[in-house]
Structure 1
Amino acid sequence: MLSLRRLRAPTPGPFRDRLRALGLLEPGAAGGAPYWNTEAAYALTADEAARWLQAADTVHALCLRAIDAVIAAGDYAPFGIQSANMVSAIEQSWRARETAFVGRMDFTLDGNGVPRLLDYEADGPVCMPEASYLQWEWFESWKAAHGAGGEDQENLIYEKLLDMWRKLRLGGRLAIASGGDADGDGAPLDTAERFTADWLADTAGEVGLDLHRCGIAQVGWDTEALRFTDVGDAVLELLVKLYPWRWMEREQNVDALPASRTRILPQPWTRLLADKALLAVLWTMFPDCPFLLPAALEPGVLDGPVVSKPRRGWDGEGVSLPGQPAATEHGPLLWQAHCPLPLLDGVHAAPSVWMIDGAAAGLSFRESPMPVTRIDARFVPHILAP
């Protein structure tokens, strides 16, 4: 049974000031509500949280088996990959894979409280800093202000991120490239991208790594070193990109990928992991998995109410609910059985499990008055309580 609760939990003044200084009390969209909800929190039991993490670990393992089957068959048509060099990079990186980097699995809950996967945002997911250290800071502030005891939070994102950086055993010049515009020093101009880039760079710095910033347009290619270069034209040992593979594969530098000696995170094989076409592959291969929803690449295949969504959309882009016309302007679609988000206190709750290096690391929540969670959804912290 579903034990998730939405609590009235006013954010203490000092932490509210911290959010304001970070720009997180600005509206998530023009005319909308502040991005961080300072008046609420979600509460769930430790056992329930453990089930969600176990569901995410189970699904991730199935994703790896599905990707292995796709690559073995060599059938990339459902994924819309046009570049032969991108295919080559995917296959090379799959054979040598070392990490899945970071991702966010978005779930809904069925009537029995069982997590059911909606999407796997595995290529540049948003709100990781909020889910990690800021959510924990909120918890510490809230707990101190209310004299609460016995509560906890399902949140090891920070710790597991540090472990991932250590595991990579990196050296040489390292850079993180944002997708949007950057200033002359490589700092992202977009607030959300800068927030994420700074957070990743700071965590890397804590284990002795110097992760320089640059914009994706500032990344070049050294034909002699066979490496990508950063804003200072220095050759790179590692490039972390906050820029989807589905965009990068349409650009000129994609031709350099098969020969590149620069390690790129997330690796090219995650192009398949982040594509919603994989949800249909998962359902075909593992229809008995309790954490999956029926999914298909063609309309009229599934029984009952279905949702259509772009195979390469993100954060609710182009999602059409039952009874609505499919939004074909966003490209090829996936059809998925409709399992509504939990409705609590008049808002739709969207739980997520964060994955670090292929393992579940913590929970976060966003919510919306609308039944589809979009980019302007509000972040809401959580606690574990009896």
Structure 2
Amino acid sequence: MKKITVPERPDWREHVEREGFSFHTIDGERYWDERSYYQFTEAQISADIEAPTKAVHEMCMDLVARVVESEALLERLAIPPQFFDLVRTSWKEGHPHLYGRFDFSYDASGPAKCIEANYDTPTSLLEAGAVQLLWLEDQIARGVLPPEATQFNTIAEDLVRAFAAFPAGGPFYFSAMSGSVEDRGTTDFLRKMAGHAGIDARHIDIEQIGLTAAGRFVDLDGRWIERLFKLHAWEHIFHEEFGSAVPGCDTQFVEPPWKSIVSNKGMLPLLWEMNPGHPNLLAAHIDNDPRQPVPSGWVRKPYFSREGANIELRTADGQLLTEDGPYTDAPYILQALAPLPKFGDSYTLIGSWVVGDVASGIGIREDDSLITKDSSRFVPHVVLG
């Protein structure tokens, strides 16, 4: 694994914007950064990334199967009791799921360590599944990369295959909160993949979804929303006004309610308890007193934190790093620190995607800090040798 500097395409903005990637620059700073790429060998990908992704995914599915049988564990994950049956039933009835992303710390000198799972509402999908792949093809055509260069990236085709395997039905709605360009980029990409699978895929803002007196979710024209992809976390839905209507409605949700078990950082201590010592996991436990200082070599995380918010990290030599944020109303965990590898001035995080139950590819984020945030840069990758 190495980082290689490469000339960026002079017309890269036009290229990425044609794919709907309009958020390539955030607050004047690069989010998409193609001035370099990360290079892996086939062996590193297959043995050190793909195989651990499959293994951790299987452990997560086993965890869900155990948690739904235990009200104590559902409660431990801060799932409200009135939704226990919803979560349990969605798993036992096999409600289909679509995608997820593990974040790994990996430097090619030891096993990849799973820092967390984003299994309900992960973003950075468009840039991983389409933008970096088109960058690869373009750079090969320009002679910047050799013709044998590839990527670990079947995300788009795996999404089409996953959508094609969904039970047949009426229109499939894709929703995100209005005003979020990044979220809309994600749902538009998913909607496009669903269209390739022959699905009537439609957009609706979450705020535009209506609820009839009979408890049925509808679009702006009063049409029943039979199938809904919602880029909106279950932990929010559980506490919102319309959330109380979900258990009694007849809409198929993607991601399904059982994903609330594995989108929750409270699952990381459970993973460790159920698979102690696994080489791809990190020691983790519930933080019973988050008022205390974070121990050296550990990270404090709220259950429902997103994009590095409210993280406290103390390095082995005692240096404390923190990120502010709004996630202060849920329990916390402590997780052993697996420091991200540093390439030049950048700390590197590997996001490994699962589509359905298939390890499908990676996207790489880098930051000037050990804490990866929503502003962290996305950098493409190449597989050679």
Cα 1:20/1:219, change in 2 over 3 Å: closer
Choose from 36, 40, 43 the match for 2:39.
43
C-alpha distance in 2 between matches for 1:304 and 1:376: 26
Instruction: For 1:99-110, list aligned pairs within 5 A.
Output: 99-109=96-106
User: 2:253 — aligned with what?
Assistant: 264
In the TM superposition, residue 299 of structure 1 has moved relative to its aligned partner by 5.5
Structure 1 counterpart of 2:361:
362
Pick which of 241-250 and 252-261 moved more. Answer: 252-261
**1:213 matched residue in structure 2:** 203
Change (3 A) 1:210 1:160: same
**C-alpha distance in 2 between matches for 1:54 and 1:248:** 33
Superposed displacement of residue 133, structure 1: 1.4
Task: Give how far 1:44 is off.
Answer: 0.4
Match in the other structure for 1:185: none
Give the drift of 1:9.
Answer: 1.8
* Cα deviation, residue 17, structure 1: 2.5
Matched with 1:317 is 309
State the Cα distance separating 1:13 from its structure 2 match. 2.8
CA displacement at 1:214 relative to structure 2: 1.1
Task: Determine the C-alpha separation between the residues in 1 that align with 2:332 and 2:289.
Answer: 13
Q: Does 1:230 align with 2:219?
A: yes
* 1:195 corresponds to: 185
The code of the aligned residue for 1:341 comes to L
CA contact (8 A) 2:54 2:359 kept: yes
Aligned to 2:92: 95
**Offset, 1:227:** 3.3
Conservation of the 8 A alpha-carbon contact between 1:12 and 1:145: no
CA–CA distance in structure 2, aligned partners of residues 139 and 170 of structure 1 = 35
- Residue of structure 2 in register with 1:184 after alignment: none
Distance verdict in 2 for CA 1:24–1:8, change over 3 Å: farther
Q: For the structure 1 residues 56 and 255, does the alpha-carbon distance in structure 2 shift closer, same or farther, using more than 3 Å as the test?
A: same
| Native 8 Å contact 1:15 1:141 kept in 2 | no
Q: Work out the CA distance in 2 between the residues paired with 1:159 and 1:46.
A: 20
Q: CA deviation at 1:208?
A: 1.5
2:147 match: 149
SS of 1:235's equivalent in the other structure is: coil
Which runs of structure 2 are paired with 1:374-385 in the superposition (5 Å)?
374-385=373-384
Alpha-carbon separation, structure 1, partners of 2:181 and 2:311: 26
- In structure 2, the residue matched to 1:168 is 166
Structure 2 length normalisation: TM-score?
0.90
SS in structure 1 opposite 2:246?
helix
What SS does the corresponding residue of 1:281 show, helix, strand or coil? helix
Q: Equivalent residues in 2 for 1:297-336 (5 A)?
A: 297-298=286-287, 305-322=297-314, 323=318, 324=320, 329=328, 331-336=330-335
Distance in 1 between residues matched to 2:7 and 2:220, nearest whole Å:
43
User: Taking structure 1 as reference, are residues 24 and 349 closer, same or farther at Cα in structure 2, changes over 3 Å only?
Assistant: farther
User: Does structure 2 retain, via aligned residues, the 8 Å contact 1:11–1:39?
Assistant: yes
SS in 1 for 2:89: helix
Shift of 1:16: 3.9
Q: CA deviation at 1:23?
A: 5.5
* Cα distance change, pair 66–303 in 1 and its aligned pair in 2 (3 A): farther
Write out per-residue CA displacement over residues 34-80 of structure 1, whole angstroms, 9 at most, x where no aligned residue. Answer: 11002011100111111211101101111111122222121223222
Residues 361 and 238 of structure 1, relative CA distance in 2, 3 Å threshold: same
Give the partner amino acid of 1:119.
Answer: E
In structure 2, the CA distance between the partners of 1:135 and 1:23, relative to structure 1 (3 Å rule), is closer
- How far residue 207 of structure 1 moved from its aligned partner, in angstroms, is 1.7
Q: Give 1:24 shift.
A: 4.6
Q: Kindly, what percent of the aligned residue pairs are identical?
A: 25
Label 1:242 to 1:100 Cα distance change in 2 as closer, same or farther (>3 A). same
Cα distance in 2 between the residues matched to 1:289 and 1:313: 24
Q: Which amino acid aligns with 2:231?
A: L
Structure 1: any 5+ residue segments left out of the alignment? 182-188
Asked whether the equivalents of residues 151 and 385 of structure 1 are also in contact (C-alpha less than 8 Å), the reply is yes
> Are the equivalent residues in 2 in contact too, given 1:222–1:235 (CA < 8 A)?
no
The 5-angstrom pairing of residues 1-12 of structure 1 reads 4-12=1-9
- Contact 1:43–1:385 (8 Å) recurs in 2: yes
**Cα separation, 2, equivalents of 1:23 and 1:264:** 26
Distance in 2 (alpha carbons) for counterparts of 1:162 and 1:10: 32
Aligned to 2:370: 371
Report the counterpart of residue 247 of structure 1 in structure 2: 236
Structure-2 change in CA distance of 1:176 and 1:295 (3 Å): same
Distance in 1 between the 2:382 and 2:107 partners?
Answer: 21
Amino acid at match of 2:307: D
- Tell me which residue corresponds to 2:136: 139
- For residue 162 of structure 1, what is the amino acid of its counterpart? V
Can you list the C-alpha shifts for 1:325-363, whole angstroms capped at 9, x where unaligned?
887836321100011011111200111111111221111
After superposition, the CA RMSD in angstroms is 2.2
What amino acid does structure 2 have at the position aligned with 1:126? Answer: T
* Aligned-pair CA distance for 1:256: 2.1
Question: d(CA) in 1 for partners of 2:253 and 2:198?
Answer: 19
Is 1:11–1:142's contact at 8 Å kept on the other side of the alignment? no
Structure 2 residue runs of 5 or longer lacking an equivalent are none
Q: Take 2:300 and 2:138, find their aligned partners in 1: how far apart are those partners?
A: 41
